[in-house]
A and B are shown apart, each in its own frame.
Chain A
Amino acid sequence: MNEPDLLIPPAGPPRDALLPAPVERVLDNGLRVVAFSQRNLPLVSAQLVVRCGGAAEHENEAGLSALVAALLTQGTTARGASELAATVDALGAQLNAASGFDASVVGVSATTPAFPAAFALLDEVVRRPAFAPAEVDRVRTKSISDLALMYANPNALVRLVAQRVAYAGAPYGHPLAGTPATLAALGRDRVAWFHERFYRPDDAVLVIGGDLEVEAAFALAQRVLGTWRAPDAPLAACPDGAIPVPRTRLVVVDKPDAGRTALLVGRTTIARGSPDYYAATVAAAVLSGYSGRLNQEIRVKRGLSYGASASLSARRMPGLFGASTLVDHTRAAEAVEVTLAAIRSLADDPPTDDDLITRKATLTGAFHRGIETIDGIASALSEYVLYDVALDELNHFAPRVNAVDARSVREFAARALIPDDFVVLVGDASKFVAELGARFADVRVIPVERLDLGSLSLEALSATG
């Protein structure tokens, strides 16, 4: 290479995305329909967002919304599970359903000529699921064995425990996938009850788009889902309730057979609708990624772990911010201190506007990759409609992230990340609990065999009292 080419060239100016403009209408039955047209490929995708999920289920019925979603695709009154699978394959379609805390989502995608028939299958599974007793048993049994796998994984377990510590008995406290005890007690009746009560057009949004004009999308939605009638029962209110400040700041689940210790520093922060959303997202990005502060302190400087990152799940109610990593048991106490310090550095040693440039780029880059596909666009729009964010967010997310400055990150961290945080560890406590006790007050240790995620106190009631 010639001399001027020995140095890496600078990046060019960022380019804008050409994104479809979504259009919203409401059908007579109350169903909101959001349609977009993007005709570069012969594919159409639809997501039906039912605005109730795990947060709506009762503490004693944890896992109900997940069970309902899993069973939707296991047979309808028109066809059994195998025939449904064969029908989906014959259309070259993809059909799936899942629940979150705030919503249950049924999605379908297919090539343009197959889409009308595939969309009719979405309607069929949403309105006429069979909930055949044999399928209820099969899905429930599989869900219970999946729980065993999840509990064996310290990384998954630390998040479940953190949820309970953060929310106690408030709506996001129980495990979305249920517990062995709650799942075992759920049968077809409760599944059918949840479906009837919460899957209704006047509390749902259909996002549909891809290779069709928006008028054609509205016509298809009207033809297929326009006959879906809302039940007479009034809409259930969205779950609400005060989120308590955690009583215990440091919880250890003693799991001697864990390979490494998972740790999470968390606190409840903001709802998706908060004006702080962008500052919060940038704050998490300052901590995350290879060049993020957590990884620099934990991996690069100290070799405590292969990696560490922070995430923020902003929801209808204030969501959980969590910074987490996986470390050797003997260095767990040190890792807790380093993680707390890295979060505190957002206020003590705040990033400059220049520091923020690369961190903000990680967010806008991931956003643009996410909306490369029509499924990605539909998922983004589903999130917006769920949380009452204006649909033009598609065009505003990147500029709004880029508008966040150092001062707003610092102020947000000082106000909403640092106070009232808590720590959860899952690992071999014998190797770190003494050191932890010397560094922190108020350490609570729960042996893993006594852990009960179905209990507000996290511990099973002892049979002997």
Chain B
Amino acid sequence: MRMKREPVTALPTISASAIDVAPIRYVDRTLDNGLRVILAPDRRVPAVAINIAYRVGGKDDPPHRSGFAHLFEHLMFKGTARTAPETIDRLTEDVGGYNNAFTSEDITNYYEVIPSNHLERLLWAEADRLAALDVNAQNFATEREVVIGEYDQRILAEPYGMLDELINREAFAVHPYRRGVIGSPAELNAASLEDVVAFHTTYYRPDNAVLVVAGDLDVDETLGWIGRYFGKIGTPATPIPRVRVVEPEQTAQRTYEYRAPNVPLAALEQAYHIPAASHPDAAALDVLETLLGYGRSSRLYASLVYDRQLATSAYASADLREQPGLFSVRFTCARGVALADARAALEIELERVSTLPPGDAELERVRTQIASSVVRSHQTNNGIALMLVRATTERGDPEVVNGDLARYLAVTPDDVQRVARTYLRTANRTVVEYLPA
């Protein structure tokens, strides 16, 4: 007999605390020359990911050379004393892998994903470009044009391309985070080949790097290769310069109005100073981000976009960095909606989250979303390698990757309200209005 199904109308939910994931197992060593090496083996699929992060990013750009760390990232692909330009591309793409790099405010991270039988070759190539980078005047000039072209395309030509730059510049009064990462074409044009050599010497050294390999690897064999190729690279006696500037507490709201020709619809971003990624409030700030602005069930989407149709998009972002960063809320107006009307609706949501703790069911949904995304982030070798890189460089300890799930599950409704009230204050915010010219 066939059973007739009852219509399902109850809302199925689960408890976030039911979600668990095994810790990432890794080996953590530091070579005599100061290179930090982290290996996370997983031998299911014959592929492996290498990430090598140097602790130098946009905030560390030399004076009057904003954008230099990012320009330097491009130069690392231009060949060495022993290899032709684009060697890393050939060693990865031609064997079924890929590679790339990115520069953030805090780090420059280079990565390769390759079939595991090519691991030794790529470790050799990464050591080679650390030890023997060879940049000449011609490829320096060409690559600088490429980077300025990227600025023109990504910052100037894209609608809202300047928004992140403006937020950093207006929110930070003295901290070098105010310069962003992409920098300025004028300062890039002022850079010389001598600057390149000095930068490589200052920051590209074993004791300023974290090398993570995740995937199909044998720990002893890989440590042998790393010792052989990286171990002999010397460490200068000079100390590595570190940013020690402390941004003073903001005491009054700052507002900046920006007009540009390629703005289809008015947009607004409000940024609030928050502590560093290693601060105990970081987990509650991540929860606040998801509650306010991640997914179709988030408060900003439900209110501004779906119910009231004042905005075409609305989201929140906890931009946690090595040093104190920013929590942002942002929306783009719907066609025909005045910026002030959408902003008033945003204010209601910010007021609500600061004055009332979220309900248990809502917080459970948010914790489940975050816990599920933590589990998903364990799926690929490159995802695991990047997590370990960021934990080590931005939070000072790779082991924090194995405590995050518990930290998110421990966030209470009162914690969410407390961080909202502590940081989402008017005096602590910078507002950028991005308007059509």
Q: Is the CB of B115 within 8 A of A364?
A: yes
Give the contact-size bracket for chain B.
35 or more
Query: Whole-angstrom distance between the alpha carbons of A91 and B233 in the complex?
Result: 50
Q: Is the CB of B95 within 8 A of A9?
A: no
Q: Is the CB of B97 within 8 A of A365?
A: yes
Q: Is the CB of B46 within 8 A of A10?
A: no
Query: Whole-angstrom distance between the alpha carbons of A365 and B47 in the complex?
Result: 8
Q: Is the CB of B19 within 8 A of A289?
A: no
The answer to whether the Cβ of A290 comes within 8 Å of any Cβ in the partner chain is: yes
Closest to B115 in A: A365
Given contacts A5-B228, A17-B46, A114-B14, contact A92 B372 (CB under 8 A): yes
The answer to whether the Cβ of B134 comes within 8 Å of any Cβ in the partner chain is: no
Q: Shortest Cβ distance from A93 into chain B, in angstroms? A: 7
Q: Is the CB of B19 within 8 A of A89?
A: no
- With beta carbons under 8 angstroms apart, the residue of B297, B302, B376 that contacts A90 is B297
Q: Is the CB of A371 within 8 A of B372?
A: no
- With beta carbons under 8 angstroms apart, the residue of A15, A290, A364 that contacts B93 is A290
Of the listed residues B5, B15, B114, the one surrounded by the most CB atoms of chain A closer than 10 A to its CB is B5
Contact with A along B60-79 (1 / 0, CB 8 A): 00000000000000000000
The answer to whether the Cβ of B371 comes within 8 Å of any Cβ in the partner chain is: yes
Chain B residues closer than 8 Å to A361, beta-carbon distance? 94-96, 115
The answer to whether the Cβ of A441 comes within 8 Å of any Cβ in the partner chain is: no
CB proximity to A under 8 Å, residues B204-256: 216, 228-229, 232-233
CB proximity to B under 8 Å, residues A341-368: 358, 361-368
The answer to whether the Cβ of B369 comes within 8 Å of any Cβ in the partner chain is: yes
Q: Is the CB of A117 within 8 A of B127?
A: no
Query: Whole-angstrom distance between the alpha carbons of A114 and B47 in the complex?
Result: 29
The answer to whether the Cβ of B317 comes within 8 Å of any Cβ in the partner chain is: no
Of the listed residues A19, A40, A79, A114, the one surrounded by the most CB atoms of chain B closer than 10 A to its CB is A114
Q: Is the CB of B121 within 8 A of A1?
A: no
Q: Is the CB of A91 within 8 A of B131?
A: no
The answer to whether the Cβ of A185 comes within 8 Å of any Cβ in the partner chain is: no
Closest to B14 in A: A114
Q: Shortest Cβ distance from B86 into chain A, in angstroms? A: 8
Closest to B117 in A: A12
Instruction: From A80-88, A156-164, A251-259, A420-428, give the one contacting chain B.
Output: A80-88
Contact with A along B130-142 (1 / 0, CB 8 A): 0100000000000
Chain A residues closer than 8 Å to B376, beta-carbon distance? 43
Of the listed residues B22, B45, B376, the one surrounded by the most CB atoms of chain A closer than 10 A to its CB is B45
Q: Is the CB of B232 within 8 A of A86?
A: no
The answer to whether the Cβ of B90 comes within 8 Å of any Cβ in the partner chain is: yes
Q: How many pairs, one residue from A and one from B, have CB atoms within 8 Å of each other in the complex? A: 185
The answer to whether the Cβ of B373 comes within 8 Å of any Cβ in the partner chain is: yes
Query: Whole-angstrom distance between the alpha carbons of A282 and B371 in the complex?
Result: 41
Given contacts A89-B295, A289-B93, A358-B94, contact A14 B46 (CB under 8 A): yes
The answer to whether the Cβ of A242 comes within 8 Å of any Cβ in the partner chain is: no
Q: Is the CB of B380 within 8 A of A373?
A: yes
The answer to whether the Cβ of A462 comes within 8 Å of any Cβ in the partner chain is: no
Query: Whole-angstrom distance between the alpha carbons of A55 and B232 in the complex?
Result: 61
Given contacts A18-B44, A368-B46, contact A41 B11 (CB under 8 A): no
Q: Is the CB of B369 within 8 A of A372?
A: no
Chain B residues closer than 8 Å to A363, beta-carbon distance? 96
Q: Is the CB of B21 within 8 A of A42?
A: yes
CB proximity to B under 8 Å, residues A311-366: 358, 361-366
Closest to B232 in A: A1
The answer to whether the Cβ of A120 comes within 8 Å of any Cβ in the partner chain is: yes
Chain A residues closer than 8 Å to B187, beta-carbon distance? none
The answer to whether the Cβ of B198 comes within 8 Å of any Cβ in the partner chain is: no
- With beta carbons under 8 angstroms apart, the residue of B229, B296, B372 that contacts A114 is B372
The answer to whether the Cβ of A395 comes within 8 Å of any Cβ in the partner chain is: no
The answer to whether the Cβ of A77 comes within 8 Å of any Cβ in the partner chain is: yes
Contact with B along A45-85 (1 / 0, CB 8 A): 00000000000000000000000000000000111001101
Q: Is the CB of B297 within 8 A of A85?
A: yes
Query: Whole-angstrom distance between the alpha carbons of A41 and B16 in the complex?
Result: 16
Interfacial residues, chain A to chain B (CB-CB below 8 A): 1-2, 5-19, 38, 40-43, 77-79, 82-83, 85-87, 89-93, 110-114, 117, 120-121, 124, 227, 229, 289-291, 358, 361-369, 371-374
Interfacial residues, chain B to chain A (CB-CB below 8 A): 2-5, 7-9, 11-16, 18-22, 42-47, 82-83, 89-91, 93-97, 113-121, 124-125, 127-128, 131, 216, 228-229, 232-233, 295-297, 302, 306, 364-365, 368-369, 371-373, 375-376, 378-381
Task: Give 17 new A-B contacts, CB below 8 A, not counting A12-B119, A15-B117, A369-B47.
Answer: A8-B91, A15-B116, A42-B20, A43-B376, A79-B9, A85-B295, A89-B296, A90-B364, A90-B365, A91-B14, A91-B368, A92-B368, A111-B375, A358-B95, A363-B96, A366-B96, A373-B379
6 residue pairs, one from A and one from B, having the closest CB atoms: A365-B96, A92-B372, A117-B12, A113-B18, A15-B46, A12-B117
Q: Report 25 cross-chain contacts, Cβ distance below 8 Å, ordered by A residue.
A: A1-B232, A8-B121, A11-B121, A12-B118, A12-B119, A12-B120, A38-B44, A78-B7, A89-B369, A90-B13, A90-B365, A110-B372, A111-B375, A112-B19, A114-B19, A227-B3, A290-B89, A290-B90, A362-B93, A365-B96, A366-B96, A368-B47, A368-B96, A371-B45, A374-B379
